[in-house]
Amino acid sequence: MLSVALQVALGMVALAMALTVVRLVRGPTVADRILALDTLSINAIALLLLAGMLLQGAMLFEAALLIAMTGFVSTAALCRFLLRGDVIG
Amino acid sequence: MIAGALLFVLLAPFVGVPAVVLLQRLHRRCAAWGAAAAMAAGLAVLAPFVPRVLAGETLVARWQWLPEWGLDFALRLDGLGLLFCGLILGIGLLIVLYAAYYLPEKDRLGRFYAMLLAFAGGMLGVVLAENLLLLVVFWEVTSLSSFLLIAYKYEAREARVAARMALAVTGGGGLALLAGVLLLGQVAGSFDLSEVLARGDVVRAHPLYPVILGLVLLGAFTKSAQFPFHGWLPAAMAALTPVSAYLHSATMVKAGVFLLARLYPVLSGTEAWMVVVGGVGAVTFVYGAYVALRKDDLKGLLAYSTISHLGLVTLLFGLDTRMAAVAAVFHIINHAIFKASLFIAAGIIDHEAGTRDMRRMGGLLRLMPWTGALAIVAAGAMAGVPLLNGFLSKEMFFAETIGHPAFDGAARYLLPVLAVVGGVLSVGYSVRFVHEVFFGGAPRDLPRTPHEPPRWMRLPVDVLVALVLLVGLLPQVMVGPILLSASAAVLQGEVPAFRLAIWHGFTTPLLMSVAAMLGGLLYYRFRHVLFALHARLLPRDGGQMAFERAYRVAELAAMRAMAWLDPRSLPAYLALLVGFVLVLGVWAWRGGAPADLAGPLAWGSVDPLTGFGLLVLAVGAGGTVLLHRRPLVALMLLGVAGLMVSLGFLRFAAPDLALTQLSVEVVTVVLLLLALRYLPQVTAAESGAARRWRDAVLAGLGGLGVAALTFAMLTRPFETISGWQIAHSVPGGGGTNVVNVILVDIRGFDTMGEIAVLAMAALGLHALLQGLRLPPAAGVASAQPGEGLPVMLAMLMRPLLPLALAVSVYIFLRGHNLPGGGFIAGLVTAIALMLQYVAGGIDFARARLRWNYVKVLGAGLGVAVATGLGSWVFGRPFLTSTHGYVDPPVLEKFELASAMGFDLGVYLVVVGTVMLCLTELGAVSRSGRVGG
């Protein structure tokens, strides 16, 4: 039962990813694209967690942790670039 | 015993090279003392072996180096080697003393002595080498170090041109010698001199003998400035006088004739040898002596005289009688002594009088009587005046020209006449040197009034001229034994009985000497007649000009060819590379047995989720290419591709790769954003349609080719090396994470190279961006100074730092057994630190992270190397790892491998590299804002 639910959830997360990719490619503004990229990495976390539950793979959770911990740094850097032009100044 | 001694003698100068540079910081004189110590130590170490060598022994020491290539580090000390060692170290010692006074006070002696010692080491290597390849290696050392020595005053164009010419000629000769020695070793079956010398018959009978002879002689003739390769030596007079006295009289130019002597038993004894060596020697002997008289420059005269005397030695070897070889060795000794003293005296005159032009001198004997007397004695030896050493070897030369077996009939007068003509010319230029400088009234036009030099500056001349006299008066006592053993080494057999004495009775050679003396005086008296004739009949000799012109032409042609061959454009390189790989691939595919692309293995199936991931990956990669003219968007699409690749790694059970890829993505985005600030937001198309079509076709074909290759590989069964690595990971490396064990243990040496490259790249960036000021590109938002940073972000990052650091420590520690390790841990740490910069700004982070990242890099490399060296302490090869289990009282029992130390080095290098890039790029942006 759980396995079926997980598979359905995986499919839905994949669909969400597909939509974020469409947003990322289409834009139209840079801010849209940054949001899409950030959403994509959050979706990736979800995908990894669901897959980890389905496959009983501990390593997938660690990867999810790493994305959660570090992924937003690039989003923050992109936002700063957009707002201020310099990333660390 | 002998092995250690020879190694010491050879290495002492090379150890001295950095030592004198450091010593000079203490005091100017310390550098001189250091250089003198290196030379004197060599002499002292050789001293105990002198009796054995004089008794005819050949001492050989050998260390294996590259035995499969016939290259052993083998040294030999025989009579010839000992003689040259004595010349190199003995005269070297005097030159060191002389140079300390000769060089101006403001000059830094360390540089000069370092080059001089490097040269002395190279020369010692040439004369001590037992292996012929080793000899060539040291031959090149002398070429290179003499290049540096001639160019010591590199501000002067003349010195640079002369140095380049010397390097081109002697270096070119060195290449010929290398080829000759390689052939010789092939023919003789060994590169060891002991073996080669014993196989002269085999070599001379071989069809390749003429080629070998030609190549080896090219090396010898260029080095010893034989006609027509002599041009570099007069040009090299642009060097300092100590250099000329050392290199261009006693040592470097003697390397060529040393080679003739060394290979005499192998190559001599044929008609080709006699014609080429004898002919070139004879021409050089007379030509050099003729030109010497016409030189107004003191050193120019001495340079051409050196060429002439080297020609004499070459001619003696070319005569190819056993006694002539003895005379050649004898003349090498005599010439080195008197010519070095003459050069030193010329340097003193130049130093005191301020010019080297003989036309401006005159009557210097009254002003500097002691130096003058010494120089006159040495010039007498050069002319062959009795009671001086030059007389003795010249007499032997005259004696050898009479009744030479190869000449009969009327031709038997040819050699004696040639010898007398050469003698007349030598007396002529010697008389000019003495007369114009020291006599003939008062100085005509000198910048300074000369007087005697400091006592220590003259000491080298004192010593050398004393030798000139001693050898001249007591030849048998002074040089008899060394001449005998050196000749035995040259001849490799019975040395003909010779008697070194001043008086042999009224003989034909004596008559020839007298004729040469009188003829020389007459010749000098009427030289103007000859000069006028010369000016009318012969064009000006402009060897150096011709060389320069040829050099320019060659340089231009090379530049044209390079511009044509190499457009210096990355797209062009890539197109060539990909195109060539395509051609190779098609050729390999078509050339082999016809085979299907698909192998025997069944196709796997793709689950929908993986297929979807691949699709997104393709969108990301394709989008990056299509939108590459909008860098910011392309960067985001690149991020998509990176994320998908990481997920793919996870899907196919490669967690190490996935964790690395994820953290690399973050670092890439931040660093690229730092650089994007200076690039336009939208770049224009820079290449035309045709170029783009070509590139598209090449790229498409290349991609298809790689896909086809992958497909063919994946559908075929084959054995990978991973089985071996998995099997050896735990027993050999003590870790269950094969990836990490490969990185730090099995392929530890590769990793060492990689982190070194990483560190170099970071340091290169550091050096390139030093002091760079750049305004941001148009279209990039520019920050207002007062604008604050988002509060949320600033608040969030502080608790995240310890968390991320804890994760990175965890990843680091478990790395040997579970996915992780120094590389990933380093990236995670770097990202955590990066966040402090991104969220808090550079001032905030700098105030709290006061680290010098260059030192972090250095520490990382140091730790890695130290771990590798640590295994030497236990007598194991570099980077051998060991592991064991530790059972501390409170914590759990855990495993500790020495490779962890290495991994720590990797960690530090990664952190240092990323942070150095970040702060350096950030500093450019900052200074851009402040400055512009």
Q: Each residue of B542-559: pLDDT tens digit?
A: 556 777 788 888 889 988
* Predicted confidence (pLDDT) per residue in B7-49, tens digit: 999 999 999 998 988 888 888 788 889 999 999 999 999 999 9
Query: Which of A39, A66, A75, A82 is the mutation pick for testing B, counting most B CBs within 10 A?
Result: A66
Q: Give yes or no: residues B290 and B399 share one domain.
A: yes
This prediction's pTM: 0.70
Q: Give yes or no: residues B139 and B280 share one domain.
A: no
B845 with A88: Cβ contact below 8 A: yes
Cβ-Cβ contacts under 8 Å for B253 (sequence gap 6 or more): B223, B224, B225, B233, B247, B306, B310
**Once rounded to an integer, what is the mean pLDDT over residues B608-617?**
90
Query: Which of B615, B632, B636 is the mutation pick for testing A, counting most A CBs within 10 A?
Result: B636
Confirm whether A13 is domain-assigned.
Answer: yes
Mean pLDDT of chain B: 86
* Predicted confidence (pLDDT) per residue in B724-778, tens digit: 888 877 777 777 788 888 887 788 888 889 999 999 999 999 998 887 777 777 6
Are A66 and B659 in contact by the 8 Å Cβ rule? The answer is: yes
Query: Which tokens is B447 given?
Result: 């910048």
Name the band, by pLDDT with cuts 50, 70 and 90, for residue B890.
Answer: low
Distance from CA of B623 to the nearest CA of A (A): 8
H or E stretch covering B406: none
Among B220, B244, B266, which residue terminates a domain?
B266
Q: Give yes or no: residues B248 and B282 share one domain.
A: no
Confirm whether B409 is domain-assigned.
Answer: yes
Question: Hey, is the C-beta of A55 within 8 angstroms of any chain B C-beta?
Answer: no
Which residue from A25, A65, A73 is facing B838, i.e. has the nearest CB?
A: A73
Q: Strand, helix or coil at B442?
A: coil
- Measured between CA atoms, the residue of chain A closest to residue B808 is A66
A-chain residues near B633 (CB < 8 A): 27, 30, 33
Among B566, B596, B616, which residue terminates a domain?
B566
Which residue from A63, A82, A84 is facing B655, i.e. has the nearest CB?
A: A63
Q: Give yes or no: residues B185 and B83 share one domain.
A: yes
Confirm whether B122 is domain-assigned.
Answer: yes
Confirm whether A11 is domain-assigned.
Answer: yes
Question: Hey, is the C-beta of B806 within 8 angstroms of any chain A C-beta?
Answer: no
A-chain residues near B800 (CB < 8 A): 69
Host domain of residue B40: 1-266
Question: Hey, is the C-beta of A8 within 8 angstroms of any chain B C-beta?
Answer: no
Q: Strand, helix or coil at A37?
A: helix
pLDDT at B315 over 90: yes
Domain total for chain A? Answer: 1
Confirm whether A50 is domain-assigned.
Answer: yes
Domain total for chain B? Answer: 4
* B533 or B402, which is more confident: B402
* B448 or B198, which is more confident: B198
- Measured between CA atoms, the residue of chain A closest to residue B786 is A84
Confirm whether A48 is domain-assigned.
Answer: yes
Identify which of B258, B130, B138 has the alpha carbon closest to the alpha carbon of residue B197: B130
Which residue from A17, A47, A73 is facing B666, i.e. has the nearest CB?
A: A73
A66 with B633: Cβ contact below 8 A: no
Distance from CA of B919 to the nearest CA of A (A): 8
Which residue from B619, B780, B793 is facing A25, i.e. has the nearest CB?
A: B619
Count residue pairs from A and B with Cβ separation < 8 A.
Answer: 144
Alpha carbon B798 to its chain's center? 53
Confirm whether A55 is domain-assigned.
Answer: yes
**Once rounded to an integer, what is the mean pLDDT over residues B499-517?**
82
Which residue from B623, B650, B669 is facing A77, i.e. has the nearest CB?
A: B669
Confirm whether B661 is domain-assigned.
Answer: no
Q: Give yes or no: residues B229 and B199 share one domain.
A: yes
Confirm whether B178 is domain-assigned.
Answer: yes
B-chain residues near A48 (CB < 8 A): 647, 650
Per-position DSSP letters for B769-819, written without gaps between them = TTT---PPPTTS----TT----HHHHHHHHHHHHHHHHHHHHHHHHTTTSS
Q: Give yes or no: residues B553 and B442 share one domain.
A: no
Q: Strand, helix or coil at B34?
A: helix
B781 with A63: Cβ contact below 8 A: no
What secondary structure letter does DSSP report for B98?
A: H
Cα–Cα distance measured from residue B260 to residue B732, given in angstroms and rounded to the nearest whole number: 56
Are B354 and B447 in contact by the 8 Å Cβ rule? The answer is: yes
B925 with A71: Cβ contact below 8 A: no
Are B340 and B250 in contact by the 8 Å Cβ rule? The answer is: yes
Confirm whether B582 is domain-assigned.
Answer: no
Q: Give yes or no: residues B304 and B228 share one domain.
A: no
Question: Hey, is the C-beta of A5 within 8 angstroms of any chain B C-beta?
Answer: no
Q: Give yes or no: residues B774 and B893 share one domain.
A: yes
Are B38 and B13 in contact by the 8 Å Cβ rule? The answer is: yes
Host domain of residue A7: 2-84
Residues of chain A numbered 11-50 and touching chain B (CB < 8 Å): 11, 14, 17-18, 21, 24-25, 27, 30, 33-34, 36-37, 40-41, 44, 47-48
Q: Give yes or no: residues B235 and B384 share one domain.
A: no
B-chain residues near A10 (CB < 8 A): 609
Q: Give yes or no: residues B262 and B276 share one domain.
A: no
Tell me whether strands B71-77 and B883-886 are parallel, antiparallel or unpaired. Answer: unpaired
A86 with B922: Cβ contact below 8 A: yes
Question: Hey, is the C-beta of B655 within 8 angstroms of any chain A C-beta?
Answer: yes
Among B266, B301, B326, which residue terminates a domain?
B266
Distance from CA of B626 to the nearest CA of A (A): 11
The ipTM assigned to this model is 0.95
Distance from CA of A60 to the nearest CA of B (A): 7
B803 with A44: Cβ contact below 8 A: no
Distance from CA of A88 to the nearest CA of B (A): 5
Per-position DSSP letters for B648-694, written without gaps between them = HHHHTT-HHHHHHHHHHHHHHHHHHHHHHTTS-SSPPP-S-HHHHHH
Confirm whether A89 is domain-assigned.
Answer: no
Question: Hey, is the C-beta of B654 within 8 angstroms of any chain A C-beta?
Answer: no
**Once rounded to an integer, what is the mean pLDDT over residues B82-100?**
93
Are B303 and B234 in contact by the 8 Å Cβ rule? The answer is: yes
Identify which of B827, B831, B805, B821 has the alpha carbon closest to the alpha carbon of residue B903: B821
pLDDT of res. B930: 42
Cβ-Cβ contacts under 8 Å for A44 (sequence gap 6 or more): A17, A64, A67, B643, B647
* Predicted confidence (pLDDT) per residue in B163-176, tens digit: 988 999 999 999 99
pLDDT tens string, chain A, 89 residues long: the values are 788 899 899 999 999 999 999 999 887 888 999 999 999 999 999 999 998 888 887 888 888 988 988 888 888 888 888 877 777 76
